[in-house]
Chains A and B, each alone.
Chain A
Amino acid sequence: MTAQPGRQVANPTADAHYEHPHSRRGFFTDTSICIGCKACEVACKEWNRNPADGDYEILGSSYDNTGALGANTWRHVAFIEQDRERIEQARSSGRALVDLGMPGVGPPPARTGSARTAPSATASTGETGGAPSSEGTAPPDSPEFRWLMSSDVCKHCTNAGCLDVCPTGALFRTEYGTVVVQEDVCNGCGTCVAGCPFGVIERRTDGLVTTPPSRDLPASVKRPQTGIAQKCTLCYDRMKDDETPACAKTCPTTSIKYGRREEMLSTARERVAQLHEQGMTEARLYGANPDDGVGGTGSIFLLLDEPEVYGLPPDPRVPTADLPRMFKRAGLAMAGMVAATATAFALGGRR
């Protein structure tokens, strides 16, 4: 069971009292090299046999017609189109973050003087100052326009709101530190949907069609169930077989990386330092801080603008962090109700 945020929890499986040690697993999604191909969305859907999300709709939001994460969409690629003004704003807000001296800042951005240099210039004139491996991964931006593409997923929080509020125990912490729904236990009460500060988990309501081919499948094959809460399992089934999750396996640019969380964290830190060196001060990490409102996330993201631009909350806080206080207030109110009733009987004596 998870508790207060702000504690340094390296591995939440210790909290869940697992006796056999496994390292905590996680994603690192480096959005600076995402090309928006949506292969992860497709691979996820195929592997997990997730049904379609209703009828196909053109949403009018760049190339994103998926819309949001949901019961049947466990990876969602966001598309944001930005002009020069917005790029500069992102860069300065990122620089402000560096100036704040946030925790765990790796090597400081070496060339602050070149911060204004457009990244494309750095890329096209050939990497000289950057790390040797950065040549192939420099983002294809122009100073006038850029696309932000980011593959969103369940954060597998250290202190997971969904897990805390689930009354049936359907949501559980796996031995790998991830958060998974047990399909045969969940009764679809929907509390977890409200409990997630990232709007990830959802109750599946779509009518599931049984197509003739699926009717002939053997009983051992997993079939999507309706009425239950669903979200990314970080491919729990594959993980147990030492396989990479479907999305990370299929990602052609290695934008989605999977592995032990500490490794992901250090990769993320190296990458953000590298981008800062290239003058991309807009690069920042999301979910890497164990002292944030959810105790850090299992899925770490490298973002190139403020989180809300990608539809992520800027300061999420697991609601259960305030639960002791809420119980205290409710206890006081309940005592008041009893006292008022007692007084009423004292006042309303037979007249």
Chain B
Amino acid sequence: MTASEFDSYRPPEPPRRRRRDRDRRSKGGAGSWFKRGGDGAREMPVVPDAEVEPYTSYYGRPVVKAPPWKKEIALYLFLGGVAGGSALLALGGQVTDRTALRRNGRLAALGAAGAGSLALITDLGRPERFLNMLRTIKPTSPMSLGSWVLAAFSTCAGVAAAAEVDELTAERLPLGPLRAVLRTTAPVAGAGAGLLGAPLAGYTAVLLSDTAVPTWNAVREDLPFVFVSSASLAASGLAMITTPVAQAGPARALAVMGAVGELVAQNVMERRADHVAAEPLHQGRPGRMLSWSERLVVAGGLGTLLAGRRRWAAVLSGAALLTSSALTRFGVFYAGLESAKDPRYTVEPQRRRLEARRAAGQTGDSITTAG
């Protein structure tokens, strides 16, 4: 687009693709992301080729903004899962009289929920206003519902864990007459935490997907399944580390189920999502995190299955599973942040679905109109 000699002082323009310009497009050859996905391994858009709009952007700047969330939020995604899964295991231990499993589960639930809440609060722009989270109950806001779940869960887990600590320290907590109250409420609180465990582990998937961040939004159908599987295997892994093998049978079984669930869910998720918006899940650091998470799930799952009744193997497998869960959460988290930074992940899928609707004769719902 050179118009004068002074244009040579300009920085190079990001390549722009021309619309309905077949000559150029065929020349576009090698570097054409346009042809990606045409290897037959993935589903191609049903839109006829001529209708697909090339992707343009405003100087390559992002269209949507990535949330200002830092690693604390990714850490919280992980810890929330550990807390939720541990509370469920503790409830199982409580019902089936496995004291060690119950105790360790309750302590883990409180520890993870507490650390997770701290991580959440430090990530706020105004941490001193964290209580404003409980100012309303807003069904359209997963963050609002999640805050309530977290608050209720932490309260229950706190009571249940206090009872365990009291028992561990041979009733040395200065409780006085409250001890009797604690004794009677602990099972109820344990049940409460157990019931809130699954919502705590899974709501974060909705929190991420209910945004305009391309990758998170594109995986909205299957992300909850990845997250609950990841939470189950992480909590089981932790229980296998902390609990003697005699009592950790259910944890081992859950670990294997969680591992299988995660492998399946992650695969389905990556297949079903828009192939362009899902790309950041395979690229760069997030991509590496997710593939390592997959390897560790396999290793941890197999270790549990084959040698889980040996203490050392249980500890090693548990550690592998915990690490894998953390990597899953961090991977998905950072893939989303990356996808918001590149306008292509916003523009291209939107363009494609718009053209597909138009090709199907559905023209009444476009934001751009002729009049």
Contacts and interface: CB of A to CB of B under 8 A. Distances in A.
Contacts of B368: 97, 284-286, 303, 306-307, 314
Interface in B104-146: 123-127, 129-130, 132-133, 135-136, 138, 140-144, 146
Interface string A278-311: 0000001111110111100100000100111111
Interface string A260-289: 000000000100110010000000111111
A61 interface: yes
B59 A323 contact: no
Contacts of A319: 209-212, 217
Given A168-B136, A187-B130, A308-B56, A323 B19 contact: no
Interface string A302-341: 0100111111111110011011011101101111111011
B125 A227 contact: yes
Given A61-B59, A85-B18, A196 B225 contact: no
B224 A334 contact: yes
Contacts of A117: none
A164 interface: yes
A202 interface: yes
Nearest to A292: B367
B228 A326 contact: no
Given A67-B61, A344-B250, 9 more contacts: A1-B140, A89-B19, A168-B129, A185-B135, A203-B125, A272-B370, A319-B212, A334-B201, A336-B225
Interface string B44-74: 0000000001011111011111111100000
B158 interface: no
B212 A197 contact: yes
Contacts of B85: 337, 341
Given A68-B61, A272-B370, A336-B225, A166 B351 contact: no
Interface string B65-88: 111110000000000000011001
A170 B132 contact: yes
Interface stretch (A25-33, A75-83, A125-133, A214-222): A75-83
B136 A169 contact: yes
A64 to B, nearest CB: 8
Interface residues of A, number: 117
A92 interface: yes
A347 B253 contact: yes
Contacts of B370: 94, 97-98, 100, 102, 105, 272, 276, 284-285
B347 A344 contact: no
Given A60-B11, A309-B58, A327-B206, A343 B367 contact: no
A106 B220 CA distance: 39
A101 interface: yes
Contacts of B340: 194
A172 to B, nearest CB: 11
A143 interface: no
Contact of A189 (B58, B64, B125): B125
Contact of B92 (A67, A287, A341): A341
Interface centre among B88, B129, B353, B358 (most CB of A within 10 A): B129
A100 B363 contact: yes
B322 interface: no
Contacts of B124: 187-189, 227
B371 interface: yes
Contacts of A340: 232, 254, 257-258, 261
A43 B353 CA distance: 38
A350 to B, nearest CB: 7
B133 A168 contact: yes
A164 B140 contact: yes
Contacts of A287: 367
A165 B143 contact: yes
A18 interface: no
B147 interface: yes
A344 B255 CA distance: 9
B130 A333 contact: no
Contacts of A67: 61
B290 interface: no
Given A89-B18, A286-B367, A334-B224, A168 B132 contact: yes
Contact of A6 (B199, B225, B365): B365
A326 B209 contact: yes
Interface residues of B, number: 105
A195 interface: yes
B169 to A, nearest CB: 28
B367 A316 contact: yes
Contacts of A341: 85, 88-89, 92, 232, 250, 254
A207 interface: no
B280 interface: no
A201 to B, nearest CB: 7
A334 B347 contact: no
A68 B57 CA distance: 13
Contacts of B353: 315
Contacts of B199: 334
A161 B206 contact: no
Interface string B243-262: 00010111111100110010
A289 B354 CA distance: 14
A332 to B, nearest CB: 7
B228 A333 contact: yes
A319 B215 CA distance: 13
Nearest to A338: B198
Nearest to A85: B18
Nearest to A165: B141
A81 B136 contact: no
A168 B135 contact: yes
Given A161-B212, A311-B343, A293 B254 contact: no
Contact of B366 (A165, A315, A329): A315
Q: Which 8 A-B pairs have the closest CB atoms?
A: A188-B125, A348-B249, A311-B58, A227-B125, A348-B250, A194-B211, A167-B144, A187-B129
A217 B365 CA distance: 50
Contacts of B184: none
A105 B371 contact: yes
